[in-house]
Structure 1
């Protein structure tokens, strides 16, 4: 269990699902993770054992039937947003209400959030909670330059057959960057959110009855066993992870 009350600059601190069918999404995640969703006046707060874990926001006109947005923390929202354009990104919405929606040079969307009274997810890295996030882009060097200009990331390449880098803050890993190769043909650049589960096999077995697909079946990684899930209704992707041990 990892209770959270704050996040360093650049760390994923919140996740928001924008969906055309919020009722169906709430039902899906309740079945998968046991989330309890409470209406907040136009959007729902998803909770795990009473602690906030994510937002589910309805948008009948959404371009994607369901897509996750990762929020990256900052102590100074105006300063972070002021760096976006010069670094090659684009401001899409805001800043307002403590956040801004932006895109990186490849077009991957994410939000920058300055915690106030609400700090973000109250728990991470336990079953049903967000445990990791990474940006998947075609140009790794361009992404490293962009995100390094916005946040105090220390980049650590990961050895192996893929171009992957871990972004650290104060020596601690906070998120990652993957260069998309030919296996990603047809997939737009995006931020991928990971949620932990206690038993990946059991979780994957429930997905068909919940209406989801598993385009990447469970595989082993240095950080645990992982599967990629295609959201019900033809929406975006997210990942499930069963940690080692």
Structure 2
């Protein structure tokens, strides 16, 4: 897909992903080798946040994981999906009214936007992004870029009702797939929702980030050589050939070579 603009992300649409990792530089090096990203640890005024780019266009962020307070445990190493909002304060209120929990209330991120982190009623963590100077990923659906965001939940009915009320996301079952729904903004599918079936025992509800690749098998081979682990080996499915893996620090993500339209 060509470079996208702010119009690509109406409210409710996944618009950005970022990673919290204990070793930020190691994460930057891993994803540079795997996806061809460029990025470096940012200045102190942005907490060292690294904006990763692909061919000069922002595609994802990587930050150093740190405990909230001295003595607290290190937060998990995870990719976080952010859903677009035109009014973060109103979305925060809607999240609470719909039964979600706000982990980090609305905050200004310099002049680039406003954000919050929340948990849906089934336990999946997600972010909300209100753009100001920065609208999100500027390239998607190309090798090395974000291509899909998928909610894995213990209660599809409860999750569907929550995201409809809090963010205006509709939920539509896919024909022939009882346990898979598309998440829609209007008539446009912008993400997916499924159960926790097939995940390791004890896996909590979560949002899974998919990155596009030009060859799933070779990407997985490179990932393993770089210290990553394969959770679900490459397999063919309706949308393409995909795999689920972890990076060397344990962050889970998926890669997919999509079928040609």
The alignment's TM-score, normalised by the length of structure 2, stands at: 0.89
Distance 2:169 2:177 in 1: 23
Residues 10 and 169, structure 1, Cα contact 8 Å, conserved in 2: yes
Q: Return 188-197 or 171-180, whichever deviates more.
A: 171-180
Distance 1:89 1:5 in 2: 30
Residues 21 and 60, structure 1, Cα contact 8 Å, conserved in 2: no
1:155: which partner in 2? 171
Distance 1:176 1:115 in 2: 23
Out of 44, 47, 60, which is 2:53 matched to?
A: 47
Q: Give the alignment of 1:110-129 within 5 angstroms.
A: 110-129=126-145
Residues 24 and 41, structure 2, Cα contact 8 Å, conserved in 1: no
Residues 17 and 56, structure 1, Cα contact 8 Å, conserved in 2: yes
The 1:162/1:25 distance shift into structure 2, 3 A limit, reads: farther
1:242: which partner in 2? 257
CA RMSD of aligned residues (A): 1.3
Distance 1:10 1:184 in 2: 29
Deviation (angstroms), 1:154: 2.5
Q: In structure 2, the residue corresponding to 1:120 is in which secondary structure?
A: coil
1:68: which partner in 2? 79
1:77: which partner in 2? 88
Deviation (angstroms), 1:201: 1.3
Q: In structure 2, the residue corresponding to 1:25 is in which secondary structure?
A: helix
1:87: which partner in 2? 98
Deviation (angstroms), 1:53: 0.4
The count of corresponding residues between Structure 1 and Structure 2 is 243
Deviation (angstroms), 1:112: 0.7
Deviation (angstroms), 1:182: 6.0
User: 1:151-184: CA deviations, max 9, x gaps?
Assistant: 2223210133551110111211101111223654
1:31: which partner in 2? 33
Structure 2: state its 5+ residue gaps: 68-73, 109-113
The alignment's TM-score, normalised by the length of structure 1, stands at: 0.95
Q: In structure 1, the residue corresponding to 2:5 is in which secondary structure?
A: coil
